[in-house]
Amino acid sequence: MMKVFNDYEIDSYLLSLNSQHIQRYQRILADVLLAYAADPTIIPQRTVEQTMLGPTHLFMPTTGADVGIKVLTSSQEGFKGATFIFSPLNGELQCVLNAYTLTAFRTALATTLALVKVQPISGYRENESLIVFGVGPQSFWHVKLTVTLYPGRFSTVYVANRTVYNAERFITEKFSSAFGGIRFVPLSTVSQDAEVGQAVAECSVIFGCTPSTVPVIRGEWLYASRKLSYEGSKFIGLIGSYKPHMMEIDSELVECYTQEHSFIVDSKEHTLHEAGEFISNSIDGTKLVEVSELWGESDHNFSLLKLVICKMVGLAIMDVAVGSQVMKDNVTSDAGVSVAF
């Protein structure tokens, strides 16, 4: 029997995960990225086709321990699609999952793979601040996973968006009831530039989750005379830019950071083709470290650095691996519809 999961069912299940569950999913994702690093052929070339009607269709297959394909359509209504999971033994279709929440969750999960290696969960910290740029599902899941993995650590979460109205609405709809003890502060990147800069300088964790063509995080907020101008340590996680003309951090920040440090990425190959921050600043693979190295046998230690920047573009193998585990975790639950196929 094949199972079909709609977005509501996936969202409800993922919202129920506690810190231990999330750490189990981190290990699953880290293992599949280690497998990809050992054999990049398990992610075959994707197919991108634009039809005469306008929408662009993306077909992204993956093999390995889990076999599947993610199919997305980009149109005026945004991205819509699904992840299909097949038996690696006989190709039987086992599961179909709506891509909306699954994509946001797996991307945030990938960012936390780097975060927990840079700022270990076991380290005791409290009364810190976090800022997220953007008001979409990616923003929500980055905040949700982080505050769940680090209970009691953050007392303030800033939400930065072009308009305060959208930031306020996002906070009310997503965070008002489920995150007691945390103060949420809306900010406008347009009318409150100084306040946004002060928040970035204050926060120990910064997430960029907006497909902006103009940088929203500036080097001048973190560097003075090309030297870091703040105390403590910061982690910046970027996921918003996925085309060459998009960028979330400016050239000053890229140039100052790469004087001494490397970016953490999910895939060197894919990031260099898609991340506008790297393309526009001619960043090459020597300045990139794949996050799987931090989970394998590597000498890289980012935990002692005052600033670490992570950039994830996302891989279909993430959707298939996480989707497969969602399927396995719900074999006997009421979630999903079983269909004879």
pLDDT of residue 87: 95
pTM of the model: 0.95
Classify domain 2-102+317-339 at the CATH class level.
Answer: alpha beta
Q: Which two tokens stand for residue 317?
A: 């193998």
How far out from the chain centre does Cα 35 lie? 19
pLDDT of residue 6: 96
Amino acid at the residue 67: V
pLDDT of residue 267: 94
Residue 183 near residue 215, CB atoms below 8 Å: no
The CATH number given to 111-314 is 3.40.50.720
pLDDT of residue 260: 86
pLDDT of residue 230: 83
Of 195, 200, 197, 105, nearest to 143 by C-alpha is 105
Please state, in angstroms and rounded to a whole number, the distance separating the CA atoms of residues 129 and 110. Answer: 21
User: Crossing angle for the helix pair 316-329 and 99-118, nearest 10 degrees?
Assistant: 100
Of 326, 317, 327, 265, nearest to 35 by C-alpha is 317
Burial class (CB in 10 A: 0-12, 13-18, 19+), 41: exposed
3-state secondary structure of 194: helix
pLDDT of residue 27: 97
Q: Give the residues of the chain that fall short of pLDDT 70.
A: 124
Q: Where are the domains of the chain?
A: 2-102+317-339, 111-314
Buried b (16+ CB within 10 A) or exposed e, 314-337: bbbbbbbbbbbebbeebeeeebbe
